[in-house]
């Protein structure tokens, strides 16, 4: 079933153009052959934009860091999937009422990352934990595909737009219940995770991780 999902996701990417299809296939090969054996993948934008739909809301890498640390505390080897446009010093801000620090000529809101946020990107990149999804590619396909290789996916995104082209409703529900963890980040910055049943165990029993 995982192989069928993976083929379906690759087909969805290919349907958007050869560039998208080639980029996702490259990620799939990279993940399959990576020596680290990642056990969890984080949907970076979904985490960074949590609870930011208000005046002054912004893309917050500190929230991604909180989720990563919560996963690592349970013994996970974490991969962060983040579109390349969010790996720059100036990034988009797609939140409603965004308090953008400046806008482009087209009026698209943008924000400058703080020094501590740039330091997080540098840290993740240096240790090989950051995968920058190529520009104009569908970043959701990357964390979804990673879940078909046995990684626990962390996202509150229902991903229905993509799964509709890959699987029926029953199969979609089975995938989400088994492979995707929800999350929350409190006002004090602490992250909590809602693990699917196969992963709801202590760090010594996390699949693929030695205690």
Query: Which token pair is 151?
Result: 């990684």
The CA–CA distances, whole Å, from 76 to 37, 45, 73 equal 10, 20, 7
pLDDT at position 170:
81
The CA–CA distances, whole Å, from 132 to 57, 63, 72, 94, 128 equal 23, 18, 20, 18, 11
pLDDT at position 117:
96
Q: In the chain, which residues have pLDDT < 70?
A: 95-108, 160-164, 198-211
The CA–CA distances, whole Å, from 96 to 54, 109, 159 equal 6, 10, 21
pLDDT at position 57:
72
Question: Are residues 150 and 31 in contact, defined by beta-carbon separation less than 8 angstroms?
Answer: no
Question: Are residues 63 and 53 in contact, defined by beta-carbon separation less than 8 angstroms?
Answer: no
Instruction: Count Cα atoms within 13 angstroms, Cβ side, for 102.
Output: 5
The CA–CA distances, whole Å, from 122 to 118, 119, 126, 142 equal 6, 5, 6, 21
pLDDT at position 92:
86
| Secondary structure class of 81 (helix, strand, coil) | strand
Beta bridge partners of 80: 42, 130
pTM of the model: 0.84
pLDDT at position 120:
97
Q: Kindly report the backbone phi and psi dihedral angles of residue 106, in degrees, each rounded to the nearest multiple of 5, phi listed first.
A: -85, 0
Closest to 155 (Cα-Cα) out of 49, 31, 52, 12: 49
Residue 58 CA to residue 94 CA, distance in Å, equals 8
- The mean pLDDT of the chain is 84
Question: Are residues 76 and 152 in contact, defined by beta-carbon separation less than 8 angstroms?
Answer: yes
Match 């949590």 to its residue by tokens. 50
Closest to 137 (Cα-Cα) out of 197, 86, 91: 86
For 139-151, the pLDDT digits (tens) are 999 999 999 999 9
pLDDT at position 164:
67
Give me the helix-helix angle, 2-15 and 140-147, nearest 10°.
160
For 7-53, the pLDDT digits (tens) are 889 999 998 889 999 999 999 999 998 988 899 999 999 999 888 87
């Amino acid at each position: 079933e995982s192989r069928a999902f993976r083929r379906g996701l690759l087909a969805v990417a290919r349907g958007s153009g050869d560039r998208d299809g080639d980029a996702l296939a490259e990620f799939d090969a990279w993940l399959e052959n990576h020596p680290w054996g990642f056990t969890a993948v984080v949907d970076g934008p979904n985490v960074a934009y949590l609870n930011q739909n208000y005046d002054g809301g912004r893309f917050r890498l500190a929230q991604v860091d909180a989720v990563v640390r919560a996963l690592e505390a349970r013994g996970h080897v974490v991969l962060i999937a983040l579109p390349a446009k969010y790996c720059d010093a100036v990034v988009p801000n797609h939140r409603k009422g965004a308090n953008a620090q400046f806008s482009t000529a087209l009026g698209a809101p943008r924000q400058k990352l703080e020094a501590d946020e740039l330091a997080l990107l540098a840290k993740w990149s240096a240790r090989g934990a950051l995968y920058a999804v190529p520009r104009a590619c569908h970043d959701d396909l990357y964390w979804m595909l990673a879940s078909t290789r046995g990684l626990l996916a962390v996202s509150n995104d229902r991903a229905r737009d993509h799964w509709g082209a890959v699987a029926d409703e029953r199969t979609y529900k089975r995938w989400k219940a088994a492979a995707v963890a929800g999350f929350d980040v409190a006002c004090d910055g602490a992250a909590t995770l809602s693990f699917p049943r196969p992963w709801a165990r202590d760090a010594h029993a996390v699949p693929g991780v030695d205690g």
